[in-house]
């Protein structure tokens, strides 16, 4: 806890010492995020149980939704507020971050609805614990790890991502997004010393590496396993263009997830795999470094973009750059910075609405959130900027 709080003050002091210079991209972008977040706080309902989700292309305000177990995005807004607090030290952000975080307590009390509990709780309580060291936040994350562990199927070797979709896929399903939620399990193993959490996370990562990827390093959104035997049956899509296409955010979750696995395990297979699938992703990016929603949509270049995928990958590459050496490290860091500068220059919401970024795509096949501002794009954008800011201050990339 002392380490976390010391780090917060070190970052605040470093921020103050380096007052935003005109040409300082990172601090200018973080100042922009803080200003947009203040605007959101002014405009949102005075109710911590209602959180911002998206802004339609023709709208000027957040569409906010009541928190409920069926949502997967309600941890991102408190996570953004924690990052705003970390950067600015403004108590208004801390008060709001606490309020929105604690409104999610009921989700930590299960039963686990699906793997997304990890997203919801680690972005909110995880950042809150990192910055405050509060015991009740730690307990909330540990409860969540237990619920996620309950979804583990030893026969398949992975977590069941979507329990309610077993009939749809006619089997145990494991989606690429689930890689992000291994962080809760690895973290719980470190906190408690109980290797069971880490064993589940490693098994899940290994099976995902094997079955959610094709030979060429592109990913399937969904891997389906037989019940009850656990044999791998097939790879397919849910949110991508086609079963054999590369859905941009799916590949992004993979790059981020395997990088994070290396952070906790030091297993070079995870780092090297993250680097390989990052290269596969980057080789096919358009000039502005922000992908179309699916790399194989035949309408490209007229297909919608997905700024959220770019933000996720930028954040991941900044971390990955610190685990690599020489030219590889420099290339990942440079690519991440170019992605962030491109998002900042060409995708800012600015006056149009109070989010940070325009042009994300949620669930294209369902016709949902196409070319919207979406809260998770903003979360990974500010996270990536904070990581860059930390690196510029000579601090570890992950606080």
> Is there a contact between 370 and 361 (Cβ–Cβ < 8 Å)?
yes
Binding site for ligand GLY (CB under 6 A): 72, 177, 239, 249, 362
Interatomic CA distance for residues 320 and 259, integer angstroms: 6
CA distances from 169 to 129, 208, 269, 313 (A): 37, 17, 30, 28
Cα 321 versus chain centre, distance: 17
15 vs 239, beta carbon nearer ligand GLY: 239
CB of 177 to ligand GLY, least distance (A): 4
74 vs 98, beta carbon nearer ligand GLY: 74
- Give the DSSP H/E element, type plus range, for residue 120: helix 117-121
Which of 84, 177, 294, 297 is catalytic? The answer is 177
Interatomic CA distance for residues 393 and 387, integer angstroms: 10
| Largest distance between two CA atoms of the chain | 60
34 vs 104, beta carbon nearer ligand GLY: 104
Residue whose CB is nearest to ligand GLY in the complex, by number: 177
Measured CA angle at 382 (ends 381, 383), to 5 deg: 90
Reduced to 3 states (helix: H, G, I; strand: E, B; else coil), residue 174 is: strand
CB of 296 to ligand GLY, least distance (A): 17
Nearest to 10 by CA among 285, 393, 398: 393
204 vs 249, beta carbon nearer ligand GLY: 249
Interatomic CA distance for residues 224 and 231, integer angstroms: 9
Distant-in-sequence, close-in-space partners of 372: CB < 8 Å, separation ≥ 6: 54, 55, 56, 57, 360, 361, 362
171 vs 362, beta carbon nearer ligand GLY: 362
Nearest to 83 by CA among 390, 399, 383: 383
CB of 250 to ligand GLY, least distance (A): 7
First CA to last CA distance, the chain: 12
86 vs 177, beta carbon nearer ligand GLY: 177
Question: Which residues lie across from 363 on neighbouring strands?
Answer: 368
Q: Is 116 a catalytic residue?
A: yes
Which of 24, 42, 58, 116 is catalytic? The answer is 116
Nearest to 148 by CA among 192, 115, 106: 115
* Residue numbers annotated as active site: 116, 177
């Amino acid at each position: 806890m002392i380490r976390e709080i010391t780090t917060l003050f070190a970052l605040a002091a470093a921020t103050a010492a380096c007052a935003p210079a005109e040409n300082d991209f990172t601090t200018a972008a973080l100042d922009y995020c803080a200003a947009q977040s203040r605007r959101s706080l002014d405009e949102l309902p005075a109710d911590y149980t209602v959180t911002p989700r998206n802004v339609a292309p023709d709208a000027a305000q957040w569409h906010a939704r009541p928190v409920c177990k069926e949502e997967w995005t309600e941890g991102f807004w408190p996570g953004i507020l924690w990052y705003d607090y970390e950067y600015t030290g403004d108590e208004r952000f801390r008060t709001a971050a606490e309020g929105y975080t604690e409104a999610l307590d009921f989700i930590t009390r299960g039963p686990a609805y699906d793997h997304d509990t990890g997203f919801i709780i680690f972005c909110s309580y995880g950042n809150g614990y990192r910055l405050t060291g509060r015991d009740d936040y730690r307990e909330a994350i540990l409860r969540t790890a237990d619920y996620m562990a309950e979804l583990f199927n030893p026969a398949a070797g992975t977590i069941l991502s979507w329990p309610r979709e077993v009939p749809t896929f006619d089997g145990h399903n494991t989606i690429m997004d689930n890689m992000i939620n291994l962080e809760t399990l690895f973290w719980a193993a470190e906190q408690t010393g109980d290797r069971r959490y880490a064993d589940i996370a490693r098994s899940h990562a290994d099976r995902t590496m094997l079955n959610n990827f094709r030979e060429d390093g592109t990913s399937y959104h969904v891997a389906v396993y037989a019940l009850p035997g656990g044999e791998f049956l097939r790879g397919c899509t849910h949110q991508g263009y086609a079963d054999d296409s590369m859905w941009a955010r799916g590949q992004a979750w993979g790059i981020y997830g395997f990088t994070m696995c290396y952070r906790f395990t030091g297993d070079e297979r995870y780092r090297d795999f993250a680097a390989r699938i990052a290269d596969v992703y980057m080789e096919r990016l358009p000039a502005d470094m922000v992908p179309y929603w699916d790399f194989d949509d035949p309408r490209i270049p007229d297909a919608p973009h997905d700024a959220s995928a770019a933000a996720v990958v930028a954040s991941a590459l900044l971390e990955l750059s610190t685990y690599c050496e020489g030219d590889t490290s420099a290339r990942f860091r440079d690519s991440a910075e170019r992605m962030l500068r491109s998002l900042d220059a060409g995708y800012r919401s600015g006056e149009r609405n109070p989010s940070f970024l325009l042009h994300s795509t949620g669930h294209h096949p369902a016709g949902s959130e196409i070319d919207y501002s979406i809260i998770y794009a903003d979360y990974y954008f500010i996270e990536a900027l904070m990581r860059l800011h930390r690196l510029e201050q000579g601090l570890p990339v992950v606080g």
